Amino acid sequence: MLVDGFDRAWRRVGLALDRVGFTVEDRDRSKGTYFVRYVDADAKDHDNSDGFWSKLAFWRDSGPKKDEQYLISVAEAPKGSEVKVLDAKGSQSTSPTAGRILALLQQELK
């Protein structure tokens, strides 16, 4: 929740996304949505499939994990503006990655 009105919150979130290093693919100001790509470095670190037998499974996709698309929603709220992370389908995301995205934005928006 930001105490700013929509116009100011929209601009601040856009600047924060740029500073944090997200790839902003598109934006729709009329809907209050930023379309961003995010590579979750922590998710790669927790992948335990790098064992000996896994390396022999050449038919599996062993390339790097693809970045995921998220929607950052900025909406006017009764006492300011609300920022949410949505998945690519437009549903509110409750994943650990969405939590990290919100935490990064919160740090930048202080």
Split at pLDDT 50, 70, 90, the class of 2 is confident
Write out the H or E segment, with its range, that includes residue 104.
Answer: helix 96-108
DSSP string, 38-97: E--HHHHHT----SHHHHH-TTS--SPPPPEEEEEEEEEETTEEEEEEE-TTSSBP-SHH
Distance, in Å, from the CA atom of 94 to the CA atom of 25, rounded to the nearest integer, reads 22
The structure tokens listed for 11 are 């601009």
Identify any residues that bridge with 86 across adjacent strands, giving them in sequence order: 71, 92
State residue 45's pLDDT score. Answer: 47
pLDDT at 56: 58
Per-residue pLDDT reduced to its tens digit, 68-83:
899 999 999 999 999 9
**What's the pLDDT tens digit per position in 21-80?**
888 999 999 999 999 988 766 655 444 555 655 555 555 554 444 568 999 999 999 999
> Residue 21: what pLDDT?
82
Helix (H/G/I), strand (E/B), else coil: 1: coil
Q: Is 106 helix (H, G, I), strand (E, B) or coil?
A: helix
pLDDT at position 59 is: 53
Exposed e or buried b per residue across 33-50, where buried means at least 16 C-beta atoms within 10 angstroms of its C-beta: bbbbebebeeeeeeeeee
pTM of the predicted protein model: 0.75
